[in-house]
Chain A
């Protein structure tokens, strides 16, 4: 194990790996933010007074959470050129769309759970004060739900960091793909992917610590 590790040329290969790590972080941030927005909208949609809205939100969140992220990415990768034959789409954009659709469904489920966790009395109190549906959501439900959603939200962000490695399969040049390109040059997959794994750990572990810290603060 030692020999292959020593043979890894950090000077030559760290810059492309770090660029890949930058793409990974960027993808996770962008799709994390987009996913949170989608999640809030669909999470509220799950408890909307209109039944068709509830069904739509429910189909989206449940179906996406029942299929692999890789299927979503592959589908977009092959389907987008068929739908828009003349547009040139960067794979990074396709990856971002796929990860956002994926993140949105999980975030929506997290928000649904958080909204449910708010005691009924809060809603009744809002009603008794004469607030309408949107006012109740805006001033009573959402502020409390967002707070409850933070620990599972951070947990999902960690899952998103790892899931984002699959964008390498559709040719987006993230950290994992940078690693694959390097192994085709240095033929040292063990050392290269150990470094790649370490870089993922560096991205993900602080999030784990943050989640644990926040949970302890809530308790």
Chain B
């Protein structure tokens, strides 16, 4: 069979629609997971030891086990205890928890990277802790974490492909399906790969633009 990209072009709309689902589940899990990540980070810094252990354990468990196994547990395992989630919600739940564990560590690193001298200087000017955090720590911390957060967003997007294994109809699932139908493996996966790559590149590019616009110091 000769290489013929023209033969698979009619399927582009199907791929784009599936890409939409990949993006949807990524964006949702990123935002919900990042908010959850803030709480996990606060848990790690809590004065209550049990809360610290819980947050620490959560981070270590999700960082040291594969997303695929987590999705199997949610999709195949939870029904045993009466929790039934469809492929979309299962993928969303798994990715959200995963993202929370990673962003919690990113936030910690970002806040710790703000020089202690700035915090001292704010204290020496009579600023309260909450004022110091809001006016002095927050912006430099966001600047410090933005590259890592962007990276995490891209990794999360790429791993949304794992949802295909529990039959979420996102891009990878659509590609496997089209591959079976057309048997044009090279063409299908090349176009699919380019779609993934372009989306990642757009995410990385917009983050760099935002950085230049937001942080002018």
Asked if B196 contacts A68 (CB within 8 A), the reply is yes
CB-CB under 8 A from B61, the residues of chain A are 197, 201
Which of the residues A66, A183, A204, A205 comes within 8 Å of B197, measured between beta carbons?
A66
Contact call A158/B63, Cβ cutoff below 8 A: yes
Question: Is there contact, CB below 8 Å, between A71 and B64?
Answer: no
Minimum C-beta distance from A170 to chain B (A)? 11
> B68–A176 contact, CB under 8 A?
yes
A197–B69 CB distance below 8 A:
yes
Is A111 an interface residue, CB under 8 A from the partner? Answer: no
Kindly state the interface size class of chain B when it binds its partner: 35 or more
Known A-B contacts A66-B201, A189-B80; the reply to A71 vs B68 at CB < 8 A is no
Residue interface bits B125-155, CB-to-A below 8 A is 1, else 0: 0000000000000000000000000000010
Nearest-Cβ distance from residue B206 to partner chain A, whole angstroms: 14
CB-nearest residue of chain B to A69: B158
| Shortest Cβ distance from residue B93 to the other chain A in the assembled complex, whole angstroms | 15
Q: In which size bucket is the chain A interface?
A: 35 or more
Give A200 to B162 CA distance when docked, in angstroms.
17
Q: Which of A74-113 contact B (CB under 8 A)?
A: 74-75, 78-79, 82
Residues of B within 8 A of A204 (CB): 63-65
A79 to B159, CA, bound (A): 22
Closest to B81 in A: A1
Give chain B nearest CB distance to A134 CB in angstroms. 32
| A163: interface (CB < 8 Å) | yes
Q: Would you list 6 pairs from A and B whose C-beta atoms are within 8 A, ordered by A residue? A: A74-B176, A75-B189, A165-B67, A165-B68, A166-B165, A200-B66
Which B residues form the contact surface with A (CB < 8 A)?
1, 60-61, 63-70, 72-73, 76-78, 80-81, 154, 158-162, 164-165, 172, 175-176, 179, 185-186, 189, 192-193, 196-198, 200-201
